[in-house]
Amino acid sequence: MSILTRDEILKAIDRGEIKIDPFTPQAVGPASVDLRLDRKFRVFRKLHKVYDVVEAANYEEVTDYIEVDDKFLLLPGESVLGITTEKITLAPDICGWLEGRSRFARIGLAVHVTAGFMQPGISNQQVLEINNSSPIAMALIPGTFICQFIFQRCIGNAVYKGRFATQYKP
């Protein structure tokens, strides 16, 4: 199981093992591809009740879907669900990791709270669990290269067919 470098990412794209739509060649780094923030968000409702964390938990029960034109204001301590502009499609022998970018982590912005692993065979946009852990308000601007995707070759083949296999909104 090896992490793909720039040359291997580009070869995998040429072979159709990795598809990125839309693809920006300048977004390919030494061992990852930068992905942009889309204009779609899910905002957490201010509920005054306890929400049970169980297998059947449904984020749509506690969030509202919105689309923004120019920016989304994320206040200190708040979380929001966002999504990448790019749709990633992986071959059955490639998986990946969604990571933040250090320039944003250094100002207190986390782009995925816990769910950074992407299964082999996915074909979807990546949901971002964005959290502002700083004491300052932050304007999230669609089109910003906000995260990076790291590709890894698997031993064997598998295809994720779960609940979020084809997600296109947060």
Extended beta strands in the chain, E state: 18-21, 33-36, 40-44, 63-67, 72-74, 79-90, 94-100, 109-110, 117-118, 123-132, 138-140, 145-153
SS3 state of residue 106? coil
Q: CA-CA distance, 153 to 1, in Å (whole number)?
A: 5
Q: CA-CA distance, 98 to 125, in Å (whole number)?
A: 11
What is the distance in angstroms between the CA of the first residue and the CA of the last residue of the chain? 29
Q: What secondary structure letter does DSSP report for 52?
A: P
Q: Is-contact 164 35, C-beta < 8 A? A: no
| Per annotation, catalytic residue among 60, 78, 86, 129 | 129
Q: Is 8 a catalytic residue?
A: no
Could you give the residue numbers annotated as active site? 129
